[in-house]
Amino acid sequence: MANRAVIQEVGSTTSRLRQLLNAVVGRQELVILGVLALAALTLSLLSENFFQSTNLLNLARGVSWFAVAALGVSMVILIGGIDLSVGAVMALSGLVCALMLRAGLGLPVAIGAGLLTGTTVGLLNGLLVARFNLQPFIVTLGTMGVARGLALGLTNGAPIRDLPPSFRAIGQYDLPLGPFSLPVSLLIMLCLAGMVALLLERTVLGRYIYALARDEQALLLAGIPTGRIKLIVYALSGLLAGCSGLIMTAWLGVAAPTAADGYELDIIAAAVIGGTSLFGGEGSVPGVVIGTLLMLILRNGMVLLGLPAYWQIGAIGVMILTLVLVDHLRRSRLRGL
Amino acid sequence: MCRTPLLLLLLLVACTSAAVEPQRPRLTLAWVSKSLGNPVFDHGRDGAIQRARELSASGAYEIELVAAAPASADAVEQTRVLDDLIARRVDGIAVSCNDPIACAEPIDRAVAAGIPVMTWDSDAPESGRFTFLSIDNTAAGREAARLLADAIGGAGKVAIITGVPGGLNLEQRVAGFRAVIADYPAITVVAEVATDEDISKGVRGVEEVMQAHPDLRGWFFAGMWPLIADRGAMPQWEAATRAGQLKTVCFDTLPFQLELLREGYLTALIGQKYWGWGYDSIQILYDTIVHGRAVPTFIDTGIDIVTDKNVEAMIRAWETNDFQRPLPPP
C-alpha cells in the first residue's frame, strides 16, 4: 500500500516535470529563444565587442530587412508552397524605386512603385500557382529569373548610386529614444511583424492559411475559395519582399541589379529554423523573427571571433542542420506522447 | 535561346565594322569579354575599336573588329559565342574566359581550325592559347601591401576583404599582400572576410571587423564590393577613416572610387588597364598574324597606382576616354 502510494507520488512529480518540459519544448520559438540567449551569452563572454551598442545597432539594421522578407516567405510555406523569387524581387523593387528617385519623382511615388513591383511579381506567382495549378517551386524559380533579368536589363548591369538622403534614412537613421537609439528599419520590421501576426492569429483568413496545407479538400468542400487565399498569400510575399528590398537599398545607399543574389535560400532557412514546417500549417511570426536573428547573430559572432572565412560557410550549414534536427526530434517526441 | 548570341554578334558586327574598301585584304579580329553591360568591359571594347581603327588607317589591312560577349557571365553561353566565331572563320580571337576549363575546348577548336587565340584578364591556362595578357595579380597584391604599410607607418592591425573563396586572381592578390606584410613584424593581419562579391555581405563584413578591432589601422580591399554602397552604409569605417586612424587600399580605379579617394576615404587604388585589355590585345593579335612575331606566354600589362597625387589625372582620363597618356607618379 505504502509502496504504491510512494510510486504514485513519484510518478505524478515526474509527469508534472514532463508537462512543464513539454510546454517549453512544445514550442520551437521557446527552444530557439533559448539557443539565441545561449549564443548571445557565449558571444558576450568571448568578445567584449558583442554587447556594444554599435554592434547591436548594426545587427538590428541588418536583421530588419532580412526578417521582413522572411515573414512573407513563411506565410507561403504555411500554405504548403515555396517562394524562390524573393531575392530577385528584393533587387528589382529596390532598383525600380531607385530609378524613380533618380528620375526626380518624389519619395512616396518611388516607394509606391517599388512596393507595386514586388506585389506584381507576387501576384504573378499566385496566379500561376492558384489558377493554373503549377508547382510553386518551378513557378517561383521562373519568376526569379524574370525579375533578375529585368533588374539587369533595366540597368545594363550597373548599380544605381547617389540616392537622396531622405530615402537612405529609412535604412540608416536611428531614432533617438532617450539614452537609446532605435533604427527606423527595426521599427518598420516590428510594425510589419505585428501586422502579419494579427493577420495570422486574429483573422479568418489567418485560420484558413494555417488550415490550407493540411486540409485543402475540406476547405473546398466548405465552399472556401482556396485559390484566392493562395493568390493573396503569394501577393503578400511579393509585397513584403519588395518592402525588404527597399529597406536593404536604403541601408546600402545603392541599388545593384545583382543584390540579394541567392538570399532566398538563407531566408527560407531562417523561417525553417524558426519553426516553420516545410510541409505547411506550422509556424509563427515570433519564431520567424527569432530564427532570422539567430542566423545573423551566429554569422556576426563568427566574424567577431575571427573564425577563418572558409570555415564560416560550413559552420552555417552545420548550424542549420542541427537546428532543423532539433525541431524534428522535438516534434516526433511530442507525437510519441 | 541558342540564337541569341549570334544575333547579338551580328548586331555588334553591324555597329563596329569599319567602312568597306574592297581593294585591301581584310582581317577580321574578334574581341570577346565575359559579359555584356559591364562598364569595365565596355571600356576595353572601346580600346579594341580604337586600335582596330588606327591599324586600318595605317596598315596594309582593312581591320574588321567583332566585339562579342554572352549576355551574362556564363561559361556555356560564351562557348556558343566562340563556336559562332569559329564558324564565321575570323582571323584571330582575344577572349576573357568565364571559366578556365569550359573555355579551353572552344579555344582548342579554334586553334585546330587555324585561328590563333589569346586570352586577356581571365586565362584558360590548359588551352592552346598563345599568350595571356593581364596584370600580375601577385605583384599587384605586393604593391598594395607596400602602399598600406607606408600609409600606416609600418605598424598596427590590418584586415582583408576578398570575393568568392577560391577565385584564382583574388587568391593571388591576397597571397601577394600577405607575403609582403609578413616582412613587417609590427603589422598583423587580424581578419580576412569573403564577400561572395555581394555588396551587403561586404558592408557587413567591414563593419563587423571594425567592431571586433576598434584599433584597426588598415584595410586591403582585393575588390571594390563594400565601396559600391553609398555613404552612411559603413558608419564605423567612415568615422575611423575621418579620424585619420584608418587607411584603405583598394583594387580598381572606377570613377566612384576616384571620387572617394579625392574625398580622403581611400589612400591608394591599384588599377588594371581596362582600356589596354582591348587596345593591346588587338595589337598583339595583329603582330602575331601579320608579322608572325613570337610573343611570351604571359604579358604583364602593369598596374596603375592612383593616390591623391595623381587622382586628378585619372579622373581626366575617364572624362576624356584617353588612357594612353601615362599617369604622373603616385
Interface of A with B in 247-306 (CB under 8 A): 248, 251-254, 256, 258-261, 300, 303-306
Please tell me whether residue B153 adopts helix, strand or coil conformation: coil
Residues B114 and B203 in one domain: no
Under the banding of pLDDT at 50, 70 and 90, the label for residue B9 is very low
- Please give the Cα distance from B16 to B8 (Å, whole number): 12
Of A156, A252, A305, the CB nearest to B199: A252
CB contact A5 to B (< 8 Å): no
Domain boundaries, chain A: 30-336
Residue B91 counted as domain residue = yes
B211 and A54 within 8 Å at the Cβ level: the answer is yes
pLDDT of residue B91: 96
Instruction: Tell me: pLDDT of B94 over 70.
Output: yes
CB contact A166 to B (< 8 Å): no
Beta strands B132-134 and B298-300: pairing type?
A: parallel
pLDDT of residue A169: 93
Domain of residue B213, CATH code: 3.40.50.2300
Residue B144 counted as domain residue = yes
Of B35, B38, B193, the CB nearest to A303: B193
- Please give the Cα distance from B255 to A172 (Å, whole number): 24
Under the banding of pLDDT at 50, 70 and 90, the label for residue A11 is low
Q: In total, how many domains does chain B have?
A: 2
- Please give the Cα distance from A159 to B149 (Å, whole number): 32
pLDDT of residue B2: 42
In this structure, are residues A60 and A260 in contact, taking their beta carbons and an 8 Å threshold?
Answer: no
- What is the chain B residue with the closest CA to A307? B191
A156 and B37 within 8 Å at the Cβ level: the answer is yes
pLDDT tens per residue across span B301-330: 999 999 999 999 999 998 887 887 888 888
Residues B55 and B155 in one domain: no
Contacts of B241 (CB under 8 A, 6+ apart): B247, B248, B264, B265
Mean pLDDT of A79-107: 96
Mean pLDDT of B125-150: 95
Residue B312 counted as domain residue = no
Distance of CA A94 to the CA centre of its chain: 18
CB contact A234 to B (< 8 Å): no
In this structure, are residues B287 and B11 in contact, taking their beta carbons and an 8 Å threshold?
Answer: no
A163 and B230 within 8 Å at the Cβ level: the answer is yes
Residue A12: exposure state from Cβ atoms within 10 A (0-12, 13-18, ≥19): exposed
pLDDT tens per residue across span A147-177: 999 998 898 778 898 899 999 999 999 998 8
Interface probe, candidates A52, A54, A184, A244, chain B, greatest B C-beta count within 10 A: A54
- What is the chain A residue with the closest CA to B35? A157
pLDDT of residue A287: 92
Three-state SS for chain A is CHHHHHHHHHHHHHHHHHHHHHHHHCCHHHHHHHHHHHHHHHHHHHCCCCCCHHHHHHHHHHHHHHHHHHHHHHHHHHCCCCCCCHHHHHHHHHHHHHHHHHCCCCHHHHHHHHHHHHHHHHHHHHHHHHCCCCCHHHHHHHHHHHHHHHHHHHHCCCCECCCCHHHHHHHHCEEEECCEEEEHHHHHHHHHHHHHHHHHHHCHHHHHHHHHCCCHHHHHHCCCCHHHHHHHHHHHHHHHHHHHHHHHHHHHCCECCCCCCCHHHHHHHHHHHCCCCCCCCCCCHHHHHHHHHHHHHHHHHHHHCCCCHHHHHHHHHHHHHHHHHHHHHHHHHHHHC
Residue B329 counted as domain residue = no
Q: Which structural domain, as residue segments, surrounds residue B252?
A: 137-271
CB contact A181 to B (< 8 Å): no
pLDDT tens per residue across span A187-216: 999 999 999 999 999 999 999 999 999 888
Is the torsion defined by CA of A320, A322, A323, A326 positive or negative? positive
CB contact B190 to A (< 8 Å): yes
A309 and B198 within 8 Å at the Cβ level: the answer is no
A303 and B38 within 8 Å at the Cβ level: the answer is no
B203 and A159 within 8 Å at the Cβ level: the answer is no
C-alpha distance from A236 to closest chain B C-alpha (Å):
24
CB contact A170 to B (< 8 Å): no
pLDDT of residue B14: 42
Residues B196 and B90 in one domain: no
Tell me which chain A residues have a C-beta less than 8 angstroms from the C-beta of B228: 159, 161, 252, 254, 256
In this structure, are residues A196 and A220 in contact, taking their beta carbons and an 8 Å threshold?
Answer: no
CB contact B231 to A (< 8 Å): yes
CB contact B72 to A (< 8 Å): yes
C-alpha distance from B41 to closest chain A C-alpha (Å):
12
- Please give the Cα distance from B12 to A330 (Å, whole number): 61
Q: For residue A322, which of A285, A268, A269, A276 has the smallest C-alpha distance? A: A269
**CATH 3.30.200 at A30-336, yes or no:** no
Residues B154 and B221 in one domain: yes
Count residue pairs from A and B with Cβ separation < 8 A. Answer: 94
Tell me which chain A residues have a C-beta less than 8 angstroms from the C-beta of B35: 157
pLDDT of residue B188: 96
The three cell numbers of residue B27 are 582581317
Interface probe, candidates A51, A58, A61, chain B, greatest B C-beta count within 10 A: A58
Residues B130 and B278 in one domain: yes
Under the banding of pLDDT at 50, 70 and 90, the label for residue A31 is confident
Interface probe, candidates A173, A254, A311, A316, chain B, greatest B C-beta count within 10 A: A254
Interface probe, candidates A181, A258, A303, chain B, greatest B C-beta count within 10 A: A303
Residue B307 counted as domain residue = no
In this structure, are residues A150 and A94 in contact, taking their beta carbons and an 8 Å threshold?
Answer: no
Instruction: Tell me: pLDDT of B229 over 60.
Output: yes
pLDDT of residue B4: 46
C-alpha distance from B156 to closest chain A C-alpha (Å):
17
- As a whole number of Å, the CA-based R_g of chain B is 21
Residues B126 and B145 in one domain: no
Residues B165 and B287 in one domain: no
Residue with the larger pLDDT of the pair A189 and A305:
A189
Residue A79: exposure state from Cβ atoms within 10 A (0-12, 13-18, ≥19): buried
Say what the ipTM of the complex is: 0.77
DSSP state of A52: S
